[in-house]
Amino acid sequence: MVSLDTLTTTEKGATHTSVNGQAAAVGAGVLYVAESNGTQMEIDVSRRRRMTMLPLEVGTRVLCRWRDGKYHAVKVIERRKLPGGGGNDYEYYVHYNEFNRRLDEWVKLEQLDLDSVETVVDEKVEDKFQITSLKMTRHQKRKIDETHVEGHEELDAASLREHEEFTKVKNIATIELGRYEIETWYFSPFPPEYNECTKLFFCEFCLNFMKRKEQLQRHMRKCDLKHPPGDEIYRSGTLSMFEVDGKKNKVYGQNLCYLAKLFLDHKTLYYDVDLFLFYVLCECDDRGCHMVGYFSKEKHSEESYNLACILTLPPYQRKGYGKFLIAFSYELSKKEGKVGTPERPLSDLGLLSYRGYWTRVLLDILKKHKGNISIKELSDMTAIKAEDILTTLQSLELIQYRKGQHVICADPKVLDRHLKAAGRGGLDVDVCKLIWTPYKEQN
């Protein structure tokens, strides 16, 4: 053991002292001791400094090793003691500054670079913590953000703070649904008896959820459902769509909302599901109809909303199902003889999803149409609201205002360029396979 005497002088960034009568120097947080045999013994003084800052306070900014093996800037959102641990044995819930909140997670102390700890962030530290985001490729950013279509644009600053405080820590880490184990993205307000659970087991047909695998197995032996509890209104190949009335199937509707909230950030969880219809898309096989995603809509919307909430479950994303759900919502609007629009506000990425759909549908018509066509005619043909058509064409610089009216300028080469940029349209809705009666006509 080496005992440290009082430090004496400082010269050119190195502090000189004596250790057990030997010459020593402290520099860059490391104490070097010269011994009689000419070797040096290194004592990591910075380790002592790190130990004094534990446990880390909520709000601390630090670098954290992520799943890519690299260090990224994070903020400590919450902390909790490890069972059976010592006074400083905590794990920390962190938010990665450059990533969406859905990637927030609990991390161990060994994942944190304690030499980078800052509790008071000044301008220089902000620069330091932002440097890792500059190293991200566009492909990495796209992969992280592309499936997230919900934002907070409708919340004022106070409401946003309240929302983030209430939902800051994911309560359920993973769920089991059918043959998939899925990592969750966000907080969902499950009943209090599930507060101590980090994993839930869902019946993929009735969406009842349980705390243990054995409970699910017992349930599956008794559950006689093999598809969502509603009317099958569409079947094409292995794809089926079921319409579920929230009033007739209240428990299913509420369970679906609990499930969806794990993957949607700010959407309100409606306990009163009576006012909504849920359209559940399924992949079908000999074992049953397995949910891949859904959208909901109000039974009666004064604002002409034809979609309130939309979700494709993570295992089924990047397969065109989201675009299919958007297209399906407009086919229902056509059956109703109405124009429709998604519930506002849309997040930036949500707007991109819809703008892509609107672009493909509108430009496809403009390419094939001979002669003049008005925005009103486009709206009647597509069930897209006139305002959405106007803003889409304006964003593509395909519309001009001449002599008191809007004129569409549809150069074929320009249309082809925009269609190519809009990407593929996803799965097609075969309207011949849609058998559906609008809700108002059912009563």
Q: Which residues of 370-401 are buried (b: 16+ CB within 10 A; e: fewer)?
A: eeeeebeebbeebbbbeebbeebbeebebbee
If 0-12 CB within 10 Å is exposed, 13-18 middle and 19+ buried, where does residue 256 land? Answer: buried
If 0-12 CB within 10 Å is exposed, 13-18 middle and 19+ buried, where does residue 60 land? Answer: buried
* Cβ–Cβ under 8 Å, residues 249 and 231: no
Distance CA 328, CA 324 (A): 6
* Cβ–Cβ under 8 Å, residues 396 and 359: yes
All residues at 6 or more sequence positions from 198 whose CB lies less than 8 Å from its CB, including other chains: 171, 172, 173, 174
All residues at 6 or more sequence positions from 299 whose CB lies less than 8 Å from its CB, including other chains: 275, 276, 277, 439
Could you list the active site residues? 343
Nearest to 177 by CA among 275, 295, 294, 268: 294
Strands (E), 28-104: 30-34, 40-44, 61-65, 71-81, 90-96
How many helical (H) and strand (E) elements, i.e. helices and strands, does the chain have? 12, 23
